[in-house]
A and B are shown apart, each in its own frame.
Chain A
Amino acid sequence: MSKLLEVRNISKYYTHKDGWLPGRRICALEPLSFSLERGETLAIMGETGSGKSTIAKIIAGAEKPSSGELFINGQALDKMADQQRCRYVRMIFQDSLRSLNPQITVGKQLLEPLLFNHDGRSLEERKKRVFETLRKVGLLPEHYHFYPHMLSSGQQQRVCIARAIVLEPQIIVADEAFAALDPSIRAQIINLILDLQQDMGISFIFVTHSPEIVKHVSDKILIMHRGKMIEFGTTQALITDPQESLTATLLQADNNYKVPLHSTTKE
């Protein structure tokens, strides 16, 4: 039985197109490999500019890796057409309102992914699927006719999650999906995600810097530093026995304000 997601030697370089030495390369992500089982949750942590969002984007297909391969259930993900790929991996963003189209109703937004992947389903069947999905994320059928701005921030994030799960993917990538939410709404969304994981067996990949949430939801943690993967392991192992000092700092919840004042200056 192959792993659900296997990342092999993925790297990302950007090249300078102008200047005296065109073709000079900047490394955003050094080659890294890891794998993820079905139903597991991976948290990617790191400082700003450490390449954590780059990994998330590459896995979701928003960026092409410079080298390396991605496999899902043993199939090469990067050789697939986008239409097929989005059935396996979907993404949720931080600012839910801005990632929704303000001009069309929630229902239409959820129908759109099904339009690309309708499998010969009729409009009626597709609508039924949308209603089902709305119910799964804790919204009402009435919300089908709402525009995004009419919903509260928690409901907007629920619509984003609904849009991600409407194609029944196996992996959902969430880039800072909790950062902008109020604590009480955030707890509701975390519960929703845990429920979905249990019911549908979805694997989640979170990019976040909140140690409390990571400790609560994740099975594995990947720590990034300046484009390198410096640590990867189960949550328990990384909390009890971190190998790198950065890991300890990032996962420390209570007294993390004790780092030296001068540790970073102009970046």
Chain B
Amino acid sequence: MNILDIRNLTIELETDAGLVRVLDRFSLQLAEGEIHTLVGESGSGKSLLAKAILGFINPKWKITADRLWWRQYDLLNLNPAARRIITGRDMAMIFQDPSSYLDPNDKVGAQLRESIPRGELSGIYLKRRADRQTRAERLLHRVGIKNTEEVMDAYPHELSEGLAQKISIAMAIAHNPKLLIADEPTTAMEPNTRAQIYRLLTKLSASQGMSILMITQDLTAVIPESKQMSLIYCGQLMETGPTEQLMSTPAHPYTEAMLNMSLYHQQSEPKSRLPTLTGAIPTLQHMPIGCRLGPRCPYARKACVQQPALRKIKSQQFACHYPLRDGDDHE
């Protein structure tokens, strides 16, 4: 059962140069308790997607979609107040560079206590206060922090990046959300800390049935527990499907290029030239028509100026006129 169902979500921004389509007919389905990784380079609109789901919407954006459903609610047709209640109850988000998202003026403990929803506490003032404290401590235990007193008494700048990310995860899970959106949670972290954060997230997902939408830049950051994966380039969905299948038999040239470029299989000879996509990521004002990968794609042909429709082979969906694998010659 899909709890999040997005069909043909389009986001357009009003700029001086007219309407710019930053997310082009994007679709995503997320099942309960599933970890879905969304891979995209900068400017691909992946953070904007997260904002659209959560409803942090600028009035200048034009959002249209065939479906943007969260469980039984149609998020786009809900009034803002109702939407806010649902989002606040069911969803949470963690960000890149966590220490900058914590309030530098307040101690970690105070910020953590603040994130505990008031409705879940009962009793008179003193009892509520004590409850808050114990619940904050329990949250820290849940994210794997043992020396709770020391951490709660610290200011954000005193914490290491990994620890700050754990605090922000603790704050995010304070109200037991059903969906956690992690926007590049481990970029610029060293491998050990990164590994800890991933383990923590997978553990939370497994123990509480929390769905996680993991947004990342790099294929090497895709964790094995993430069974589904989507690749997005300049706002267009390139390929989506089961992670293993995409890694072993990519159908879209972009997936193949990303696998080679991030040295995922590590098959290439050391010091050999890496296969790259030529050119740079186009700017928003100068998006190519049709398939936006076109100018950089090694297999591009004349038909690529028409945007390809999404095709499906064995639960693997891709948008390409000339895919690297076809349904017939496989298995």
Whether chain B is bound by chain A comes out as yes
The residues of A with any CB-CB pair to B shorter than 8 Å are 47-48, 152-155, 179-180, 182-188, 190-191, 194-195, 209-213, 215-217, 235, 249-250, 253, 255-259, 261-267
Within the complex, the shortest CB–CB distance from A29 to chain B, in Å, comes to 18
Q: Is there a chain A Cβ closer than 8 Å to B150's Cβ? A: yes
| Stretch of B11-19, B27-35, B83-91, B259-267 lying at the A interface | B259-267
Instruction: Kindly state whether residue B196 has any CB partner on chain A within 8 Å.
Output: yes
Task: Pick the contact of A212: B42, B196, B266, B271 (CB < 8 A).
Answer: B266
Alpha-carbon gap, A267 to B193, bound state (A) = 12
The 4 closest A-B pairs by CB, nearest first: A212-B263, A187-B261, A257-B195, A182-B41
Enumerate 23 A-B pairs (CB-CB under 8 Å) in ascending A order. Answer: A152-B281, A155-B280, A180-B188, A183-B258, A184-B261, A184-B277, A184-B281, A187-B275, A209-B191, A211-B191, A216-B274, A217-B270, A249-B192, A255-B224, A256-B191, A257-B198, A257-B223, A258-B199, A259-B196, A259-B199, A261-B144, A262-B146, A265-B146
Q: Which A residues are in CB contact (< 8 Å) with B42?
A: 153, 182
Closest chain-B Cβ to A54's Cβ sits at a distance in Å of 16
B306 at the interface (CB under 8 A from A): no
| Contact surface of B with A, Cβ cutoff 8 Å | 41-42, 144-147, 150-151, 154, 158-163, 188, 190-196, 198-200, 203, 217-220, 223-224, 257-258, 260-264, 266, 268, 270-271, 273-277, 280-281, 283, 296
Inter-subunit contact B41/A194 (CB<8 Å): no
Task: Decide: B200 and A190 in contact? CB cutoff 8 A.
Answer: no
Q: Is the CB of A263 within 8 A of B263?
A: no
Min CB gap A238→B, angstroms:
13
Residues of A within 8 A of B193 (CB): 264
Instruction: From B196, B270, B274, give the contact of A261 (CB < 8 A).
Output: B196
Asked whether, in the complex, the Cβ of B274 is within 8 Å of the Cβ of A191, the reply is yes
Cβ-defined partner of A264 (8 Å) among B41, B160, B258: B160
Q: A191-B273, A255-B224 given as contacts; is B144 within 8 A of A183 (CB)?
A: no
B residues less than 8 Å from A179 (CB atoms): 188
Assembled-state Cα–Cα distance A182/B147 (Å): 37
A152 contacts B280, CB within 8 Å? yes
Contact of A257 with B220 at beta-carbon distance under 8 Å, contacts A184-B257, A212-B262 already known: no
Is A216 within 8 A of B271, CB to CB?
Answer: yes
Residue of B nearest to A210 (CB): B220
Please state if B271 and A217 are interface contacts (CB–CB under 8 Å).
yes
Interface-central residue, B163, B199, B217, B270, by most chain A CB under 10 Å: B270
Q: A184-B281, A191-B274, A257-B198 known; A267 and B163 CB under 8 Å?
A: yes
Shortest CB-to-CB span from B28 to chain A, Å, is: 21
The residues of A that contact B196 with a CB separation of less than 8 Å are 259, 261, 263-264
Q: How far is the CB of A264 from chain B (nearest CB, A)?
A: 7
Cβ contact within 8 Å between B218 and A183: yes
Measured CB to CB, the nearest residue on chain A to B260 is A187
Q: Is the Cβ of B270 less than 8 Å from the Cβ of A216?
A: yes
Compute how far the CA of A61 lies from the CA of B262 in the bound complex, rounded to whole angstroms: 32
Cα distance, A259 to B160, chains bound together (Å): 18
CB distance from A106 to the nearest CB of B (A): 16
Q: In the complex, what distance in Å separates the CA atom of A183 from the CA atom of B219?
A: 9
Expressed in whole angstroms, the minimum distance between the Cβ of A48 and any Cβ of chain B is 6
- Say yes or no: B160 contacts A267, CB within 8 Å: yes
Bound form: Cα–Cα A182–B280 in Å: 10
Contact status B146-A216, CB under 8 Å = no
Measured between beta carbons, the chain A residues less than 8 angstroms from B281 are 152, 182, 184-185
Inter-chain contacts of A258 with B (CB < 8 A): 195, 199
Q: List A contacts of B274 (CB < 8 A).
A: 187, 190-191, 216
B218 contact set on A, CB distance < 8 A? 183
Interface centre among A191, A257, A258 (most CB of B within 10 A): A257
Interface centre among B198, B274, B277 (most CB of A within 10 A): B274
Closest chain-B Cβ to A222's Cβ sits at a distance in Å of: 16
Given contacts A194-B271, A261-B200, contact A266 B41 (CB under 8 A): no
Note all chain A residues with C-beta closer than 8 A to B219. Answer: 183
Chain B residue contacts of A184, Cβ below 8 A: 41, 257-258, 261, 276-277, 281, 296
List the B side residues contacting A263 at CB < 8 Å.
192, 196
Given contacts A179-B188, A182-B42, A267-B160, contact A213 B270 (CB under 8 A): no
The reply to whether A259 and B195 form a contact with Cβ atoms under 8 Å apart is yes
**Sample of 17 more A-B contacts, CB < 8 Å, known A152-B280, A152-B281:** A183-B41, A184-B277, A185-B280, A187-B261, A190-B274, A191-B276, A194-B273, A210-B220, A212-B262, A215-B263, A216-B270, A217-B270, A217-B271, A253-B266, A256-B191, A263-B192, A264-B160
Q: Which residues of A contact B192 (CB under 8 A)?
A: 47, 249, 256, 259, 263-264
Inter-chain CA distance A17–B258, complex, in Å, is 50
- Given A249-B191, A259-B192, residue A265 in contact with residue B147 (CB < 8 A): yes
Contact across chains for A47 and B146 when beta carbons are under 8 A apart: no
